[in-house]
């Protein structure tokens, strides 16, 4: 189903700024990443999104393609970012069918609610593997193509490049590790690793023209994170904890993506763009889902009332 432009992109961006460019995105069928890719496609790019669920990934790819007449959007399912060979095969297919890779979004992630008591070793490892190893694999599989794109699309910061921009990667992270958050230890540790990876990429590949940055969304409405990890009755209270008094929108994350990937982001490298309405500066000691600190942890109760949880044996 085609979405109105206002759902995923502001009117400030000029059409065609990403003409003849290709974006590759892991986790591209998710609500945030699909909006990021849709915005890029609307502005001229072709795209390849990958994910584990074949039907969902292919369906979302077809939907994203409606953002612009003539757009080419590949949806490659059965891709596990923890497996480098699986990911590289998807990148190779993207390059073969679309001609290259100019922009990358490393957006695949895993999340659920669990205290450290209830968090098994395997569950912790799973999130680390998806977020950290998956982001590293994404980088390794795409960096040869990003280097090629960066060499073609250099900018001196003064004269607009006649070929536009390229050679840029965004890692999708979070804000919970800035202060720590109960029931999210596994995610906090993983996202800290993702941030560090991005910073290292900026330092090592900046001299060769690649920029690497982090986008850190806060609470974004109508996304898997909010729908799976928060109880419906707690949403109003959570709004009050955000200084701007509301949840963000996927459009606002997509706009930040266009900013970094476009000519406006030429000198933005090794940075974190936080899109959260200053929510992280007002983090409470609960997970934002109605589980009161420290009573809930002391009780030893398991998390209930949300779909995004796993029963884990205690260790």
Q: Which residues are catalytic?
A: 173, 191
Q: What's 129's DSSP letter?
A: I
User: What is the torsional sign of CA 96, 99, 100, 105?
Assistant: negative
Q: How far apart are alpha carbons 306 and 296 in whole angstroms?
A: 15
Counted residue by residue, the chain has a size of: 315
Q: Is the peptide bond before 294 cis (omega within 30 degrees of 0)?
A: yes
Contacts of 111 (CB under 8 A, 6+ apart): 127, 184, 187, 225, 228, 229, 308
- What is the DSSP code string of 275-308? ESTTGGGG--SS-SSS--TTHHHHHTPPP-S-SS
Residue whose pair of structure tokens reads 């480098």 in the numeric block: 84
């Amino acid at each position: 189903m085609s979405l109105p432009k206002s759902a995923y992109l502001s009117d400030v961006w000029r059409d065609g700024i990403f003409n003849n460019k290709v974006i590759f995105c892991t986790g591209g069928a998710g609500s945030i990443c699909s909006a990021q890719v849709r915005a890029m496609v609307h502005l001229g790019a072709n795209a390849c999104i990958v994910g584990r669920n074949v039907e969902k990934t292919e369906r979302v790819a077809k939907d994203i393609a409606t953002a612009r007449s003539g757009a080419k959007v590949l949806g490659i399912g059965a891709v596990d970012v923890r497996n480098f060979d699986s990911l590289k095969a998807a990148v190779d297919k993207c390059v073969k069918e679309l001609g290259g890779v100019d922009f990358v979004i490393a957006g695949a992630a895993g999340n659920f609610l669990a205290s450290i008591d209830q968090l098994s070793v395997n569950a912790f490892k799973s999130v680390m593997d998806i977020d950290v190893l998956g982001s590293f694999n994404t980088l390794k599989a795409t960096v040869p193509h990003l280097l090629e794109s960066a060499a073609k699309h250099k900018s001196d910061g003064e004269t607009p490049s006649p070929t536009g921009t390229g050679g840029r990667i965004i890692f999708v992270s979070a804000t919970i590790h800035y202060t720590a958050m109960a029931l999210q230890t596994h995610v906090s540790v993983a996202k800290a690793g993702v941030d560090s990876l991005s910073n290292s990429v900026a330092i090592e590949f900046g001299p060769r023209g690649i920029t690497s940055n982090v986008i850190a969304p806060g609470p974004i409405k109508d996304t898997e994170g909010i729908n799976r990890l928060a109880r419906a009755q707690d949403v109003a209270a959570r709004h009050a904890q955000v200084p701007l008094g509301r949840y963000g929108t996927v459009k606002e994350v997509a706009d930040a993506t266009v900013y970094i990937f476009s000519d406006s982001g030429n000198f933005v490298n090794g940075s974190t763009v936080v899109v959260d309405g200053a929510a992280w500066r007002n983090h409470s000691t609960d997970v934002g889902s109605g589980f009161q600190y420290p009573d809930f942890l002391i009780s030893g109760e398991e998390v209930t009332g949300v779909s995004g949880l796993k029963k884990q044996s205690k260790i």
